[in-house]
Amino acid sequence: MRFIAAEGVILEDILDATYPIWSEGLTREAYGTWNAAQLKTAWGRNHLRRFALVDDRGRWVAAAKRYLWPMRLDGADGIMCGVGAVFTRPEERGRGYGRAIVDRLVEHARGEGATVAGLFSEIGEPYYERLGFTTVPLDEVDVEVQRKGGAPAMLVRSGDARDLPALAALHAVRAQGVRFALRRDTSLIDYGLSKKRLLAGLGRGAGPRAERQTEFFVAEEGASAVAYVILTVTAGGWTLEEAGDRDPSAARLGAILQVLLAREPSRPAPLIRTWWPPAMPVPPQVRLTNRIPARDIFMLRPIEDVRIPTRAEDVFYWRSDYF
Ligand SMILES: CC(C)(COP(=O)(O)OP(=O)(O)OC[C@H]1O[C@@H](n2cnc3c(N)ncnc32)[C@H](O)[C@@H]1OP(=O)(O)O)[C@@H](O)C(=O)NCCC(=O)NCCS
């Protein structure tokens, strides 16, 4: 079996095969465009790649995406080999190719400095436990915002590219002291935002499953962002993808949410779901309810001699960085 970067005809064939599972409601053409566009972002170009296992006849049998996520684990900067979209051709299943492609990705990433591998399982825990992965708990909660009679007197504006360094700085402060967190620099945040905006734009008109909007708002002091939110808005409600506040009370983040809800004062508040990192302060205007383990199962496997975090409190991870 050869292990190759999937490109050209092989990549198109893999996209045909994986489209029914991972289309997110997009048309086949838009699904291809969404994948290609991610690779054209500054971060995607250097950190994201799709690989395949190819048999002696030159036919691919299994494929997966590989991300190199900058992270910090127990005070040491490193890289997490992110594994996504693991797929074996239906007629080739049960022959160990799924395991083989994950192992090859991990070995390859070891050579690029990865000390841990991570994934989000859509097929439960047992399959990946057998491949050496352990579940890392993440909390999923509803965000209930206390609504005022009108919007708080605070300027909230659309976020843009010039705000990203401030977002990165807010993250660095909040994630400090937690055992495991991504190191989210400007280009990584930009990648996450672009990926969501592309998905929303490419899904327009493709049907109800693909209807979504990305919203990015900041509160500023002087000229720089001191609090922000990034949301995905669908008919089913809002997903708070990530947020930040320079102030440890997080009161400005709470006020941003109040301002956004005050845009439609007569409508019932939407359901707001998020993964709220336990180290992130909860704004005084907000109550977190219906806490459950995240439905997307996050799992890690050591590559080098590292300890995998076992409690939600040990992890600072936003829904934004789901892959
Ligand atoms: C999951 C998948 C990649 C496994 O590929 P594979 O090449 O058959 O995997 P392997 O040969 O390494 O392992 C086969 C074993 O995994 C088990 N397995 C396969 N799919 C499973 C699932 N969804 N849940 C639990 N176990 C599963 C098989 O029962 C088999 O068990 P056995 O060894 O006791 O007979 C393949 O089924 C697939 O492409 N599924 C569709 C895409 C998908 O859902 N990917 C996972 C995204 S997180």
H-helix or E-strand containing 105?
helix 97-110
121 within ligand 1 shell (Cβ under 6 A): yes
Pairing verdict, β 237-245 and 272-275 = parallel
The pLDDT assigned to 208 comes to 87
Span from the CA of 93 to the centroid of ligand 1 (angstroms)? 7
Distance 275 CA to ligand 1 centre (A): 27
**8 Å CB contact between 108 and 154:** no
pTM over 0.85: yes
**Calpha distance 218→238 (Å, rounded):** 17
Q: Does residue 79 line the site of ligand 1, with CB under 6 A?
A: no
| Cβ of 2 less than 6 Å from ligand 1 | no
What pLDDT score was predicted for residue 150?
86
Verify whether ligand 1 is closer than 6 Å to residue 133 (CB atom). no
Q: Does ligand 1 have an atom closer than 6 angstroms to the CB of 125?
A: no
> Chunked in runs of 10, what are the mean pLDDT values of the chain (323 residues)?
97 98 96 98 98 97 98 98 98 98 97 97 97 96 92 94 98 96 98 98 91 97 94 97 97 97 92 96 98 93 97 97 97
* Nearest of 157, 170, 144, 151 to residue 285 by alpha carbon: 144
What pLDDT was estimated at residue 39?
97
| Ligand 1 atom closest to 124 (CA) | 24
Model pLDDT, residue 23: 96
Q: Provide the 8-state DSSP code for 132.
A: T
| Nearest C-alpha neighbor of 182 from the set 316, 28, 31, 18 | 316
Structure tokens at 306: 């590292």
Neighbouring-strand partners of residue 216:
230
Residue nearest to atom 25 of ligand 1 (CA): 127
**What angle is formed at CA 279 by the lines to CA 278 and CA 283, rounded to 5 degrees?**
85
User: Which ligand 1 atom is at minimum distance from the Cα of 61?
Assistant: 7
pLDDT at 295: 86
User: 13-29 burial, b for 16+ CB within 10 Å, e for fewer?
Assistant: bbbeebeeebbebbbee
Q: How far is the CA of 122 from the centre of ligand 1 (A)?
A: 11
- Give me ligand 1 centre to Cα 114, in Å: 25
- Give me ligand 1 centre to Cα 300, in Å: 18
